[in-house]
Structure 1
Amino acid sequence: MKVQESFGALGDRRFAWYFTARTVSTAGSVMAPVALAFAVLHIDQSAGALAQVLGVRTLVLVGFLLVGGVVADRFSRIVVLQVSHVLTCLTQALAASLIISGHATLTQLTVIEGINGAVSAFTMPAMMGVVPLVVDRSRLQQANALLSFSRSGLSIIGPAVAGLLVVGVGPGWALAVDAFTYAVAVVCLARVGLPKRSEEGRARQHSMVRELREGWGEFSRREWLWVVVLAFGLTNAIHTGVIGVLGPLVAKSTEAIGEAGWGLVLSAEAAGTVLMTIVMMRLRLRHPLRAGMVAICVLAVPMVLLGVAPALVPVAVGFFLAGAATEIFGVGWNTALHEHVPVPVLSRVSSYDALGSFVAIPIGTFLYGWLGTAVDVETLMVVSAGVYVVISLGALLSRSVRDLGRSSEDPTEAAAGASAATDDTHARS
């Protein structure tokens, strides 16, 4: 494939505007985790405080995910994104103002992040459902790789800039930039024209309960889907606890890394993702989940290094490798969903995916917040890495996961048949 052909998906005006909106909003949001983490640690320098803020956000996110999936399938996904982006802009602007003025408290940041969690529950399913509607089916993997390329490329710069801002002028300014970019993204989304709802093959609108049942039916009958989601429900809890809670704490207490160094480490992870994204735009995955689950084991490497060698260079190398591995799984997973799940139920299915993947994260967040003060951190990180690898490889025991290939059937065209089968099932029940 020629280099220019790797960017062919941008030739579609709808995808180009959607790509621009995602890129602009990402430019600010990649700085937010670093800024938020050190804003919290400035108020209360403990793993428990950071675990509280992150845990509440995820709890609220999980609580609203299924509702977000139904709303995204029922209404215009672009409008859903615009509304959620406006709310994110307002909440991040409020957090920035409180932090910059020096009036922020742990309770205030916890509440704000809780609101952001609720908003994200609508954003994520809507984003998953947009891509198949704005790009030709033959370019789905390419489009997913381009979106990841944008996100990862910005993630190289964003965390490093956020770390410098934290040290130089404080974390509030990074959140202020994030708020501004969401406002710009709202304008870009207005230029994306989606097909009318009738062209998406939607059946009649039913009650929310019935639509959730339809989404669950589509989710549960695909073994490859629920097996991988179950595995990630456990591994995400471990990853969030080790990297999200213990990571900034280790960085802040280690002179060899520090706050600015932690931003550079996260940038190294993004650099690995960018490099692998270029490969993924030109390489077709024949068995996306097999490759993805093997690759994702590499995320155990930075966990071990943070425990046994908390120095900037080795940890950065570990994060670089983890970023590359994450990209292999991410592009493969999104492409599998887009190719094997009918578009009219895609947002609902992705909400079940997110729910299962995220449901244990609050547990992991609070658990590691406590474990970080109760046991030896080095041992905790090494053991966690081992468990992470065992769970990830365990998913490959399912033949459905190992052997899932690329689909030649268009989910949009298959939607009518899927809807008819669902209606027939309800008629008999």
Structure 2
Amino acid sequence: MSISRMGRGSWPYADAVTATPEPAPPHPSPPLEAPPAGPPLWRDRRFVLLTAARTISVLGNGFARVALSFAVLALPGAGPGQLSLVLACQAVPQLAFVLVGGVLADRVSRSRLMIVADLVGAAAYAGLAAMVLTGHAPLWALCALAALAGTATALFSPAMDGVIPLLVPTGRLQRANGLLRVGANSSMLLGLALSGVVVALVGAGWALALNAASFVVSALLIRGLRLSARVRPRASGWSELRDGWREFAGRQWLWVVVVQYAVVVAALNANAGVLGPLATEGGLGGARSWSLIVAAQALGTIMGAGLAARLRVHRPVLVAVLATFPAALPIALLAVRAPVPLIALAMFGSGIAADVFGVLWATTLQREVPEAALSRVSSYDWFGSLAFAPLGLLVAGPAAAQLGVGRALAGCAALIVLATAAALLSPQVRGLRAPRPARGGQTSDGP
């Protein structure tokens, strides 16, 4: 669960909006209708458009992750402090405005909001590229454009989550979520792998320009979805936020897992941003070893998304929570300075488990939350899960200095295990069941 342009899933119903049924009690599960006859997902025009949009924009975002850092560090007098400030200006609006994005996505056409967000992101990255290419890049302007890019992500993410059940029959949601994540994860891995080459060959400015172009292409592709706005009584934004909160807080399984992931994401951020690089730099091979470990995780996410697309489980939230435990293993292995290949193997396994969680979680959210409130509930999910993420980065450095890197890593692994074990105490987490296949019907769908 992290803010990114990947979203967490998406896809085919008509443009008319239909509401997802109210959540059913965990026992007994109602039968699931067989999916209506229709073309396979890869032959559905709007599924292909959305998948292409996400794949292209995530590829560009892979370039931007590296290009923005190198662009800032290449400026006269710039250093780690300036880079941290620019990245913080990008991250804070993602958290601050995601609830606003959820309200907007439930009031207007979600596809149009996604287009607006993509165009805002394109303008932000085009401005960053222009400043870097011309050599005139005052710090305040970099921070302002980074904040604009973060705001675009905050508007886009809840709308993306809410689009999925508008395009995909209920029985095909899990397959669609998995297929989308396979494309997005593969694209992100390719983007990160090529970003260094692109920056070295053409410079950070042109790499940022490529990312801006990817936003424009994404907006053009999403335009083909043509989803209409929901027609319902207008209420104030605060009233709609309260209604979304009631939908969120009224589902124990939902808020319990979000609280769990507030802790898990903070621990993962501390490892990925500070402690992991420090551990490898302190005798495990430095940047080359860390790159291998991170690449192993990325490969695991691709395999995990493909596996999750076909996985059939009776208790999806329980399986999703259990799939969080493997995230602690590579961190614990780093803490005891295990061999790098063993750490990479554990990271590969954690990548598989992470996307099993992601697909099962997204599908359950789409099935159980009414469509009219889905983007607002999703925004609370984003907000809660990321609430402690900046804290993880802030605390990691001082903790490593006071306790040592090994003990700080062990603490992160312990937090993941304890938070996950606590989530399993919830009866709804253990008991919420997926809809059963209807007799004589098939719930599986071909790609």
Q: TM-score range by the shorter chain?
A: 0.7 to 0.9
Q: 2:267 aligns with which of 217, 228, 238?
A: 238
Aligned pairs for 1:142-291 within 5 A: 142-166=175-199, 170-194=203-227, 196-198=228-230, 202-248=231-277, 256-258=285-287, 262-291=290-319
Alpha-carbon separation, structure 1, partners of 2:83 and 2:382: 22
In the TM superposition, what whole-angstrom CA distance separates every residue of 1:77-112 from its partner, at most 9, and x where no partner exists? Answer: 111111111111122233334445555566554443
- Residues 65, 351 of structure 1: 8 Å contact kept: yes
Runs of 5+ unmatched residues, structure 1 = 410-429
Structure-1 separation of matches of 2:72 and 2:403 = 22
Spell out the pairing of 1:52-91 with structure 2 (5 A cutoff). 52-91=85-124
The amino acid of 1:269's aligned partner reads: Q
Residue 433 of structure 2 aligns with an amino acid whose one-letter code is G
Q: Is residue 2:427 matched to residue 1:362?
A: no
Q: Does residue 127 of the first structure (1) align with residue 160 of the second (2)?
A: yes
SS at match of 1:31: helix
Instruction: Give the aligned length.
Output: 398
CA deviation string 1:210-255 (max 9, x = no partner): 1111111111100000000111112212211221344456667878
Q: Is the 8 A contact 1:52 1:366 kept in 2?
A: no
Q: How many angstroms apart in 1 are the aligned matches of 2:380 and 2:321?
A: 19
2:171 corresponds, among 138, 153, 156, to 138
Give per-residue Cα distances to partners, 1:135-166, cap 9 Å, x unaligned: 12210001100111101112332222224445
Please state if 1:349 is matched with 2:377. yes
Paired residues of 1:215 and 1:345 also in contact (CA < 8 A) = yes
Is contact 1:157–1:267 with CA below 8 Å preserved after alignment? no
Identity of aligned residues (%): 36
Q: 1:342-396: CA deviations, max 9, x gaps?
A: 1011001101111111122222222224445555223212221111221122111
Equivalent position SS for 1:326: helix
Higher RCO (CA < 8 A, seq sep 6+) = 2
**SS at 2:433 equivalent:** coil
Deviations 1:43-93 (A, max 9, x none): 7665x6655444443322221121111101101111111111111112223
Distance of 1:375 and 1:319 partners within structure 2: 24
1:264, distance to aligned residue in structure 2 (A) = 4.8
Partner of 1:421: none
CA distance in 2, matches of 1:31, 1:89: 14
Q: TM-score, normalised by structure 2?
A: 0.80
Q: Distance in 1 between matches of 2:258 and 2:175?
A: 23
Distance 1:250 1:174 in 2: 30
1:14 equivalenced with 2:14 (yes/no): no
CA distance in 1, matches of 2:289, 2:202: 16
Amino acid at match of 2:129: A
Q: Are 2:110 and 2:163, in contact at CA under 8 Å, matched by a contact in 1?
A: yes
1:33 equivalent to 2:65? Answer yes
Q: CA RMSD in A?
A: 2.9
SS in 2 for 1:74: coil
Q: When you count helix as a share of all residues, which structure comes out higher?
A: 1
Change over 3 Å in CA distance of 1:121–1:21 after alignment to 2: same
Deviations 1:289-335 (A, max 9, x none): 21111111212233234444487644433332221111110001000
Amino acid across the alignment from 1:333: W
Flag the 1:109–1:318 CA change in 2: closer, same or farther, 3 A.
Answer: farther
Q: Does the CA-based 8 Å contact 1:269-1:319 persist in structure 2?
A: yes
After superposition, the C-alpha distances for 1:13-63 in whole angstroms (9 at most, x for unaligned) are 2222111111111111133334444555667665x6655444443322221
1:53, 1:316 → 2: CA distance?
A: 30
Q: Does the Cα contact within 8 Å between 1:271 and 1:323 map onto a contact in 2?
A: yes
Alpha-carbon distance in 2 for matches of 1:293, 1:150? 24
Structure 1 residues 269 and 32, CA, compared in 2 at 3 Å: closer, same or farther? farther
Q: Is the 8 A contact 1:248 1:262 kept in 2?
A: yes
2:146 to 104, 113, 117: 113
- The offset of 1:114, in angstroms, is 2.3
Instruction: Tell me, in whole angstroms, the C-alpha distance in 1 between the residues paired with 2:416 and 2:321.
Output: 11
Match of 2:420 in 1: 392
Secondary structure of the 2:314 match is coil
Offset of residue 269 of structure 1: 1.7
Question: For 1:179 and 1:57, how far apart are their aligned partners in 2?
Answer: 15
Relative to the length of structure 1, the TM-score reads: 0.83
1:376 alignment partner, one of 376, 392, 404: 404
| 1:335 paired residue among 342, 363, 370 | 363
CA distance in 2, matches of 1:369, 1:104: 29
For 1:30, what is the secondary structure of its paired residue?
helix
AA in 1 matched with 2:118: H
- 1:69 and 1:348 in contact (8 A); partners too: yes
Q: Secondary structure at the match of 1:130?
A: helix
SS across alignment from 2:97: helix
Contact 1:162 1:171 (C-alpha < 8 Å) held by counterparts: no
